[in-house]
Amino acid sequence: MGHDYRPEREYDVRPVPGEADLPLANAMADLREEVLPALGVDDVTVFFADLDEDLGRYVSGTSSRPVIGIDHDNLSSASRIQGLEYRRQLAATLAHEAAHAYRETLGLDDLDEDAAGTFARRWVLEGIVDVSVLVPGDDGPSALRQEG
């Protein structure tokens, strides 16, 4: 089961910026080792493009092999502002977007920013891969959703 989504049909896909090469390789290695197996995802496809205000974007409907866009300029700014290494900011963004894909496979609201954000932060800041934050508990999905 796959999909034939190609980001260049929708985005002005750019080559990976030179300074992002190594951080991307490192972030992907960590993601593949620690996060993707927990999400039951074989691998992700990453492309670089201008994503308006977003750091990253999961392309809805590609969960069989999630396609994730990264905006290098926005990510660089965010990493400076938050005092987080580019590599870690990138890793967090990839985990965040992979979390959206995971929720989509469960038939949940794949745009729940709280769940995806919590999942990514816990991994990057605490080293914990906690899939349970992506799955509604007894309180139901509304407990994880922030209005507004």
Other Cβ atoms within 10 Å of 3 Cβ, number: 14
Kindly tell me which residue out of 39, 67, 116, 144 binds Zn ion, with binding defined by CB under 5 A.
Answer: 116
* Residue number with CB closer to Zn ion (109 or 113): 113
- Residue 99 as a binder of Zn ion (CB under 5 A): the answer is no
* Closest approach of Zn ion to the CB of residue 55, in Å: 9
Instruction: Kindly state the tokens that stand for 12.
Output: 């002005």
Q: Which stretch binds Zn ion (CB under 5 A): 23-31, 60-68, 116-124, 138-146?
A: 116-124
Binding residues with Zn ion: total (CB under 5 A): 2
Distance of CA 12 to the CA centre of its chain: 19
Question: What DSSP letter does each residue of 53-102 carry, written as one string?
Answer: T-SEEE-TT-TTS-EEEE-HHHHHHHHHHHT--HHHHHHHHHHHHHHHHH
* Closest approach of Zn ion to the CB of residue 46, in Å: 15
| Interface positions with Zn ion (CB under 5 A) | 113, 116
